[in-house]
Structure 1
Amino acid sequence: MSTATSTTATPTPDHLAEEFEALFGYRPLGSFRAPGRVNVIGEHTDYNLGFVLPIAIDRAVYVAIGKRPEGGAEGRIDHSTGESATVEPPRRGESIRIVSDHRDRAGQRLSGQFTAAELVPGTLPGWLSHAAGVVDEIAKTTGTTVGGVDLYIESTVPVGAGLSSSHALEVAVLIALDEVFVLGLDDREKVLLTQRAENDFVGAPTGIVDQAASIMTEAGHALFLDCRDLSARQIPFDLDAEGLRLLVIDSKVSHSHSESGYGARRKTCEESAAIFGVDSLRELADDVDLGELTDEQRKRVRHVISENARVRATVELLADNERSTVADHDDRIRAIGDLLVASHESLAYDYEVSCVELDVAVAAAMGAGALGARMIGGGFGGSGIALIHADQVSAVSDAVITAFAEHGFGKPDIFAVSAGGGAARFD
């Protein structure tokens, strides 16, 4: 799923305010940011009510928001380009106008306009449906009809890379509307509201990890989240202090069966849980007898059970790492790397959501000395990650790029991320 935009330069609050005023003709009330996420470990466990360990990354979706003055501003000149602003005049006083920094092939900014009352699932284009879903769910959840506002969006989260750009958009829009309309939502309510928007309005059967990571994570930490009750612990994960880097390897491929494959796997997990008479696969013991399942069900269940165990093991290693000696510390970091590789193998062979590009990326990174590597996200394309020492960035990156070229793949986009803070006002 794509969001409105994806650039690389981090905007400033002044820049967002200036762009907003150029488009809408008045100053915004403020700006907000919501980060994308990398799931260190714990893939396809969230909708099975298991455990995940994501970080909020230092790339985010930014939203400037304003309430229209009486009479409605009709847009101005985009002074950054000299072109006429693409924003439409407000059709109704209660309408919501959204403009993105991303441009279509004709060079026009992507934009849209709707009212809360007219929202119907499936009627708005991809990126806009994520924002509209939040507005729709706010009305259902809180009874507040959002309207008479304008939003300007920029993003530094790569689109289609499995870093949750669409969820970051939803969260950024929600926290902006939460403040402007004084909704008073707590973190748990925000997480659940954005998940419902994604499931019910956008129509994607996603779990809870992406929204939770964007909303709840503290800088320099990973979020150990129990997806059954949303209880969470902040686990120290300061990569810079450890002399480590987490490389994101964006394969820039997305295979056509990603949407249907995700839903099919979720359905298989739900059917398997029903066979055992439990609400979710989370309830199954690590040594449960899987003999009565089909081969496909057995593999899916085996992944979920083993992945939950890997998350717990990673948390224990990270929590104990602060008290370890230097030698023991190195052993623990390598053990985490081994768990990442085991996660990838399970995703590739038991859950069957990897692809040849991601397999090549993981193999090349490990061959160049990475401590660990695996695919992330829903699968069938997107990104992988590699845990490396700080001085290995060039060597690992070059090895992956070379391997892609040798296989005839396009050049991947590779960059390091750090564990940033969660969604907040951006002043």
Structure 2
Amino acid sequence: MSNTFVSQFGQESQVTARAPGRVNLIGEHTDYNDGFVLPTTIPQETTVQLTRREGPEVRAYAADLDRRGSYTLGGEAHTGSWIDYLQGVTQELTRDGHELGGFDVRLSSEVPLGSGLSSSAALLVALLRGLRELFSLQIDDVEIARLARRAENGLVGANVGIMDQMACSLAREGEALFLDCRDLSFERVPLPRDVDLVVLHSGVEHQHAGGDYNTRRAECERACELLGVASLRDLPLGDLLRVEALPEPLGRRARHVVTENARVLEAVAAIRSGDLAKLGELFFASHASMRDDYEVSIAEVDLIVELAREQQAVYGARLTGGGFGGSVVMLARLGEGRRVGGAIADEYARRSGRTPKLLTPAAN
């Protein structure tokens, strides 16, 4: 059976909506600590096609998984499967008083699952964009991000921050989204024109709804309790001695967040001044902090970063995303990204036995 919308639902779709994946340049695990982040978009997108149907039923088809699912509006319940993302969205929209009807929806994505490139946020934002058009909902792009996060925190059960959803909803190609996760104020910062952005997926998938990610959040919350602050964002670099006096591993967890917030601010300044060497140093320092203090990296990702360090054309490299697998983001000299990305991927595959995927820059 064909997997087109018509073959699955017997009619043409009324609305098509898309949202890009994102790569976080720097600022990892700072978002749920009310800190700073600096993501940008990647070319890969998630696409949803929708049409209205009579009654309260939602029928869904996930083309990449070749799976169908359905549920009734008002009867959303956690299942632990992909359809929870849809259920979470309709549940949150209904709670906010938006009127929905039944609909058919087909989902497809170019963003690799578990890659650390926000496949889940891209799906949620694309779906909310589609429902906004299908049912003429009065929600802006920031509200879409808020709703997407609530859906993932709630029915899906992943205690993620707001960065991914804001990036997928508001970031634009060629620009970084400098975002303050406390008040959601943001600025679009043009990326340097004389670098290639290289994203290499390690071939090891991660899952935010798993225990490790939520454990890190709980550790940060406990650190705040012991330090007497509302969030780790409230701690300047000058408080590092107090932070490091916390019992382990809380001291290292908090040290990562405090220093990572400072690195984001330095990275924005480096981008604005065109100091690519400094920006690269910040990438490597960020990765070391995630590896040693926050302990969210893995051997395969560390290998990619070390292979990148050996390439003269690479300014810097770091794990991007929540960790425990996923992807590495690198900055390379303009015109060199495809070559060095391919060379690193080949050597990584040889040493690790994994199958990496070079996502950017794309082949010409």
Q: Residue 357 of structure 1 aligns to which amino acid in structure 2? A: E
Provide the rounded CA distance (Å) in 1 between the counterparts of 2:134 and 2:206: 39
Residue equivalent to 1:357: 300
Residue equivalent to 1:218: 172
Which one of 64, 68, 71 corresponds to residue 114 of structure 1? Answer: 71
Query: Offset of 1:244 from its aligned partner?
Result: 1.9
- Is 1:36 matched up with 2:21? yes
Query: Offset of 1:27 from its aligned partner?
Result: 2.4
SS of residue paired to 2:243: coil
Number of aligned residue pairs: 357
SS of residue paired to 1:44: coil
Query: Offset of 1:25 from its aligned partner?
Result: 2.2
- Is 1:162 matched up with 2:116? yes
Higher RCO (CA 8 Å, separation ≥ 6 residues)? 1
**After superposition, what is the alpha-carbon deviation per residue over 1:79-100, rounded to whole angstroms, capped at 9, x for unaligned?**
xxxxxxxxxxxxxx21011112
- Is 1:340 matched up with 2:283? yes
- Is 1:371 matched up with 2:328? no
SS of residue paired to 2:82: helix
Q: Residue 313 of structure 1 aligns to which amino acid in structure 2? A: E
Residue equivalent to 2:86: 131
Residue equivalent to 1:310: 263
Which one of 235, 239, 243 corresponds to residue 194 of structure 2? Answer: 243
- Is 1:286 matched up with 2:237? yes
**After superposition, what is the alpha-carbon deviation per residue over 1:301-330, rounded to whole angstroms, capped at 9, x for unaligned?**
110011001100111122233xxxxxxxxx
Provide the rounded CA distance (Å) in 2 between the counterparts of 1:54 and 1:196: 20
Classify 1:396/1:184 alpha carbon distance in 2 versus 1 (closer, same or farther; 3 Å): same
Query: Offset of 1:379 from its aligned partner?
Result: 0.8
Classify 1:408/1:145 alpha carbon distance in 2 versus 1 (closer, same or farther; 3 Å): same
SS of residue paired to 2:335: helix
Matches within 5 A, 1:142-157: 143-157=97-111
Please give the TM-score of this superposition, normalised by the length of structure 1. Answer: 0.80
- Are the counterparts in 1 of residues 244 and 255 from structure 2 also a CA contact under 8 Å? no
Residue equivalent to 1:409: 353
Q: Which moved more, 1:170-179 or 1:290-299?
A: 290-299
Residue equivalent to 2:219: 268
Provide the rounded CA distance (Å) in 2 between the counterparts of 1:371 and 1:118: 51
- Is 1:194 matched up with 2:145? no
Residue equivalent to 1:54: 39
Classify 1:180/1:394 alpha carbon distance in 2 versus 1 (closer, same or farther; 3 Å): closer
Provide the rounded CA distance (Å) in 1 between the counterparts of 2:251 and 2:333: 36
SS of residue paired to 1:252: coil
**After superposition, what is the alpha-carbon deviation per residue over 1:270-290, rounded to whole angstroms, capped at 9, x for unaligned?**
111112221100001211022
| Structure with the greater alpha carbon radius of gyration | 1
**After superposition, what is the alpha-carbon deviation per residue over 1:312-365, rounded to whole angstroms, capped at 9, x for unaligned?**
0111122233xxxxxxxxxx0111111100000000011011111011000001
Query: Offset of 1:390 from its aligned partner?
Result: 3.0
Classify 1:316/1:114 alpha carbon distance in 2 versus 1 (closer, same or farther; 3 Å): same
- Are the counterparts in 1 of residues 49 and 106 from structure 2 also a CA contact under 8 Å? yes
Please give the TM-score of this superposition, normalised by the length of structure 2. Answer: 0.93
Provide the rounded CA distance (Å) in 2 between the counterparts of 1:258 and 1:95: 26
Query: Offset of 1:406 from its aligned partner?
Result: 4.4
- Are the counterparts in 2 of residues 221 and 237 from structure 1 also a CA contact under 8 Å? yes
Query: Offset of 1:181 from its aligned partner?
Result: 1.5
Provide the rounded CA distance (Å) in 2 between the counterparts of 1:159 and 1:34: 15
Matches within 5 A, 1:395-406: 395-406=339-350
Query: Offset of 1:226 from its aligned partner?
Result: 0.3
**After superposition, what is the alpha-carbon deviation per residue over 1:22-42, rounded to whole angstroms, capped at 9, x for unaligned?**
322222222110111000000
Query: Offset of 1:408 from its aligned partner?
Result: 3.6
Provide the rounded CA distance (Å) in 1 between the counterparts of 2:266 and 2:199: 22
Consecutive unaligned residues of structure 1, counting only runs of 5 or more, are 1-17, 71-92, 104-108, 322-331, 419-427
Query: Offset of 1:191 from its aligned partner?
Result: 1.3
Q: Percent identity?
A: 40
- Are the counterparts in 2 of residues 258 and 379 from structure 1 also a CA contact under 8 Å? no
Q: Residue 213 of structure 1 aligns to which amino acid in structure 2? A: A
- Is 1:230 matched up with 2:215? no
Matches within 5 A, 1:378-397: 378-397=322-341
- Is 1:182 matched up with 2:136? yes
SS of residue paired to 2:304: helix
Which one of 181, 189, 205 corresponds to residue 159 of structure 2? Answer: 205
Query: Offset of 1:258 from its aligned partner?
Result: 8.2
Consecutive unaligned residues of structure 2, counting only runs of 5 or more, are none
